[in-house]
């Protein structure tokens, strides 16, 4: 047997665990968590006030889903929260990505935007929530603005960091072939920065969902975060846990969508 077939045989014999094995492990992990939750609540080891049983949580989900609960139906809370989160996320993508690219390409842009972004980025949203209420009132604007600010900083930082993936040699090669500044940005810089930008989008939408409850503290009468806050005031932990699970599942489904988009747009990422 020649050396080439032997090398090919060795290469084909080495396989990295794929998505299938990872998905199986994830399913088994969730089943174990559900079983553990069922056992400790039904055996009476934890009082329902602190942790409701899966049956009670599912019962609340069913009542909210069918409109039998003494509250607005689940779809109204869901629609209001989706509108707020994705409106803020869409605006953050429109503004943060160009700002991040500008910070990576220009010292002037970096000097203008870097101080305010680095100043507010470590702050929790509740820290500047009172100012947003005083400045913008209690309508939909402050809710969307609070989520927008939580999405903006990580997305801008990711876009700025992604520009480092485009080497100076690549840009010089494009310039030497007659490319204009705009063509270099479009055909060299953006494709190189796209993986980092997509990761930044995944991170920023996670920050957006985590800020949802704080945003809906601003005189909201509908929304998943408002539903959780209102239930917590009456010690309805079954509704609180149900709302937390719904928010987590929706955020996870969007993260799966972003992973699928990432595999489609940058199939080379992680395979070099």
Q: What is the pLDDT of residues 184-221, one digit of tens each?
A: 777 777 877 888 888 889 889 888 888 888 888 777 78
Domain-located, residue 131 = yes
Least confident of 11-15, 51-55, 57-61, 199-203: 11-15
197 domain residue, yes or no: yes
Read off the CATH number of the domain in which 143 is found: 1.10.3720.10
**Contact predicate 96/159, CB 8 Å:** yes
pLDDT at 216: 84
Percent of the chain with pLDDT strictly greater than 90: 24
Instruction: Work out the average pLDDT over 233-246.
Output: 91
258-261: long-range contacts at Cβ-Cβ below 8 A with a sequence spacing of 24 or more?
258/198, 258/201, 258/202, 258/205, 259/202, 261/198
* Mean pLDDT, rounded, for 76-88: 91
Domain extent at residue 145: 65-265
Q: What is the mean pLDDT of the chain?
A: 83
For position 90, what pLDDT does the model report?
A: 94
Residue 32 belongs to some domain of the structure: no
Report the domain count for the chain. 1
Predicted local confidence at residue 7, as pLDDT: 44
Asked whether the whole model's pTM tops 0.75, one would answer: yes
């Amino acid at each position: 047997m020649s050396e080439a077939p032997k090398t090919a045989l060795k290469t084909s014999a080495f396989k990295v665990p794929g998505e299938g094995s990872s998905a199986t492990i994830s399913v088994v992990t969730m089943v174990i968590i559900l079983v553990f939750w069922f056992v400790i609540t039904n055996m009476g080891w934890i009082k329902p006030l602190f942790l409701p049983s899966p049956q009670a949580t599912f019962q609340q989900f069913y009542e909210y889903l069918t409109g039998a609960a003494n509250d607005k139906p689940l779809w109204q809370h869901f629609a209001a929260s989706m509108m707020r989160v994705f409106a803020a996320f869409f605006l953050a993508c429109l503004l943060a990505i160009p700002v991040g690219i500008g910070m990576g390409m220009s010292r002037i842009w970096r000097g203008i935007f870097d101080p305010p972004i680095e100043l507010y980025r470590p702050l929790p949203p509740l820290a500047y929530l009172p100012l947003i209420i005083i400045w913008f009132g209690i309508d939909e604007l402050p809710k969307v603005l609070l989520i927008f600010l939580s999405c903006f900083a990580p997305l801008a930082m990711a876009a700025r960091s992604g520009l480092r993936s485009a080497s100076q040699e690549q840009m010089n090669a494009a310039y030497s072939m007659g490319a204009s500044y705009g063509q270099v940005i479009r055909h060299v810089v953006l494709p190189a920065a796209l993986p980092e930008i997509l990761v930044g989008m995944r991170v920023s939408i996670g920050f957006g969902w985590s800020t949802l409850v704080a945003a809906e503290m601003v005189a909201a009468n509908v929304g998943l975060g408002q539903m959780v806050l209102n239930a917590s005031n009456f010690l309805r932990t079954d509704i609180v846990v149900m709302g937390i699970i719904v928010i987590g599942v929706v955020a996870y489904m969007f993260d799966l969508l972003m992973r699928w988009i990432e595999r489609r747009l940058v199939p080379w990422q992680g395979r070099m």
